[in-house]
Amino acid sequence: MDIYLDFRKGGTFSCPLCGTSGCKVHDSTMKSWRHMNLFQYKAYLHARLPRVDCPSHGIHTAKVPWLGRVAALPCFLRPSPCP
Ligand SMILES: [Zn+2]
C-alpha cells in the first residue's frame, strides 16, 4: 500500500534555519518511509518535500509540520526510512 503526501502548488514555507515565513519553493525532493503495516499490507509513505529559497540562507529543505508528528509517535507506529 502506497500513501502519497504533497503540498499545494504555489505554497510557501518557513526557512528551516531562521524561521522566515513565506519562502517560495525552489524545487522538491521525493522521500519514502516504511510505515507500520495497515491490516496485513506493507505500507509506505511517499512525500514530496519542498526546498525553499530563503533570501538570507539560500536553498534548504523546508520543515514540514507532519514530520515532527511522525517523530512523536510511539516506536511501533513510527515509519522508518525505506531500505
Ligand atoms: Zn533563512
- pLDDT, one tens digit per residue, over 3-39 is 898 989 999 999 999 999 999 999 999 988 887 888 8
pTM of full prediction above 0.75: no
**Centre of ligand 1 from the C-alpha of residue 54, in Å:** 5
Those residues whose beta carbon sits under 5 angstroms from the ion ligand 1 are: 15, 17-18, 20, 54, 56-57
Strand-pairing partners, residue 54, are 58
Tell me if 13 sits within 8 A of 65, measured CB to CB: no
**Centre of ligand 1 from the C-alpha of residue 68, in Å:** 19
Residue 18: give the domain boundaries. Answer: 2-81
Cell of 81: 526510512
Residue with cell 503495516: 37
**47 or 36: whose pLDDT is higher?**
47
Number of domains in the chain: 1
* Closest by CA position to 5, among listed 26, 28, 25: 28
Judge whether residue 64 has pLDDT over 90: no
Judge whether residue 80 has pLDDT over 90: no
Tell me if 23 sits within 8 A of 53, measured CB to CB: yes
Judge whether residue 81 has pLDDT over 70: no
**69 or 64: whose pLDDT is higher?**
64
Residues in contact with 77: Cβ distance below 8 Å, sequence separation at least 6, in sequence order: 36
**Centre of ligand 1 from the C-alpha of residue 42, in Å:** 38
